[in-house]
Amino acid sequence: MPWRPIGDIKMQSQELENKIAALESAAVKAIEEADNLESLENLRLLYLGQKGELTAILRALKDLDKTEKPRVGQLANVVKQKIEAAHEEKRARIYDQGLSSRLKQEAIDVTLPGSRLNCGHAHPLTQLIEEINTIFYSMGFSVAEGPEVETDYYNFDALNTPASHPARDEQDTFYTNIGPSVLLRSQTSNVQIRVMEKQKPPLRIISPGRVYRNEEINARKYPLFHQVEGLLIDRDVTFGQLKGTLEAFIQALFKKPVKVRFRPDFFPFTEPSAELDSQCPFCSGSGCRTCGNRGWLELLGCGMVDPNVLKGVGIDPEEFSGFAFGMGLERLAMLKYDINDIRHFYTNDLRFLEQF
């Protein structure tokens, strides 16, 4: 190390000490005046960062005499600690002020009543299915389910529907591209066949579910709707029992007198067959758009199970007989809730759904 006069060494160390003291004063003052965390962080980098002013001063220590380095270096470390302490204290104060302000803005008065949440509920058709299930449970029926994608055997053949029947035409039934004999079921009667194949009489079942038909959309018809099919197989079953069961069901469902009528009809899987109609509640039988100006609404079809159907599933028609019925849930809901258009069930209009 080259020789330097003692006076020069002291002057150099004194100059660094003055710079360190001035840096401390300026840094502490600037930190105190900072009003947000971003500016505070910028000050920390300015004074204490790798390229900061104090770091530059510390690098100059290498030029000091070894007798002066410890004293000046200790002073620089003390100043660094003071600046860091001032920075942390100011940072905590800014954070606490921001937190306090945010808490005031977000304060909740726990003594006030809470906001009511809008809770969902079951669709009116789902509610009706549950109610129908409960009614038939009380009559000794159980619920059975089956596939919605079905073969034409279970949807038509096993139900005594001939190949020439118009219901099998593509204008009435939705066939799939899986195969020529695979379709979307047009009735839940397919479940009755599947149950009779697996279980022996006596049988009492209902089978609610979705069905599909190529219908023109209007106030009374829709290509997707719901049905509940019913089946009772036992010894000595009569048509009178069928009428009594359905009339009891109608009274239990509507909880008020409903004018109904049985009229002869034809279904391939029942013989004799009948249609159960109710008087239109919207026009009291005078005729309107909902009932097609007929004054009556078709509620369900019914009849005694055809012996050919029983034979097809291995049940002896000489020993057992039974009745079957099928009803459209939308028609029942329209009558029960005074709804004049079947399309309301599928528009997802909250003004309609929230009424239930």
> Do residues 246 and 229 lie in contact, with contact meaning Cβ atoms separated by under 8 Å?
no
Write out the DSSP string of 146-195: --SEEEHHHHTGGGT--TT-GGGSTTTS-B-SS-TTEEE-S-THHHHHHH
Instruction: List CB contacts of 152: < 8 A, sequence separation 6 or more.
Output: 168, 181, 182, 183
The least confident of 58-72, 116-130, 186-200 is: 58-72
How far apart CA 278 and CA 291 sit, in angstroms, is: 10
- 3-class DSSP state of 100: helix
Q: What is the pLDDT of residue 116?
A: 80
Predicted local confidence at residue 99, as pLDDT: 65
Q: What does the pLDDT read at residue 280?
A: 78
Q: Whole-model pTM? A: 0.64
Q: Supply 168's token pair.
A: 């099998």
Q: Which of 254, 245, 224, 259 is nearest to 330 (CA)?
A: 224
DSSP-derived letter for residue 282 is T
Which residue in 89, 77, 84, 86 sits closest to 29, CA to CA? Answer: 86
Amino acid, single-letter form, for residue 260: V
**pLDDT beyond 90 at 44:** no
Query: Which among 150, 148, 149, 169 is positioned nearest to 158, based on CA atoms?
Result: 150
Q: How far is it, in rounded angstroms, from Cα 132 to Cα 143? A: 10
Q: How many whole angstroms separate alpha carbon 256 and alpha carbon 273?
A: 26
> Which tokens sit at 268?
């391939």
CA 67, chain centre distance (Å): 79
DSSP 217: P
Question: Which residue is it, tokens 């994608």?
Answer: 149
- C-alpha 212: how far from its chain's center? 23
Q: Is 22 helix (H, G, I), strand (E, B) or coil?
A: helix
Q: What is the pLDDT of residues 288-339, one digit of tens each?
A: 876 778 888 888 999 999 999 999 999 999 999 999 999 989 988 888 888 8
Cross-strand pairs, 298: 277
Is the per-residue pLDDT at 168 higher than 70? yes
Q: Nearest to residue 29, comparing CAs of 87, 104, 88, 111?
A: 87
Identity of the amino acid at 125: L
Neighbour count for residue 325 (Cβ, 10 Å) = 22
Report DSSP letters for 69-97, one per residue: HHHHHHHHHHHHHHHHHHHHHHHHHHHHH
Helix (H, G, I), strand (E, B) or coil at 9: helix
- Nearest C-alpha neighbor of 221 from the set 113, 139, 297: 297
Residues in the chain: 356
pLDDT confidence of 2, banded at 50, 70, 90? very low
Residue 182 gets the label, from left (phi > 0), alpha (psi -120 to 50) or beta, of beta
Residue 60 pLDDT > 90: no
How far is the C-alpha of 129 from the C-alpha of 226, rounded, in Å? 9
Give the pLDDT confidence score for residue 5 in this predicted structure. Answer: 41
What element of type H or E holds 112? none
Among 3-17, 185-199, 320-334, the minimum mean pLDDT is found in: 3-17
The Cα–Cα gap between 333 and 112 comes to 41
State how far the Cα of 127 lies from the Cα of 139, in Å rounded to an integer: 19
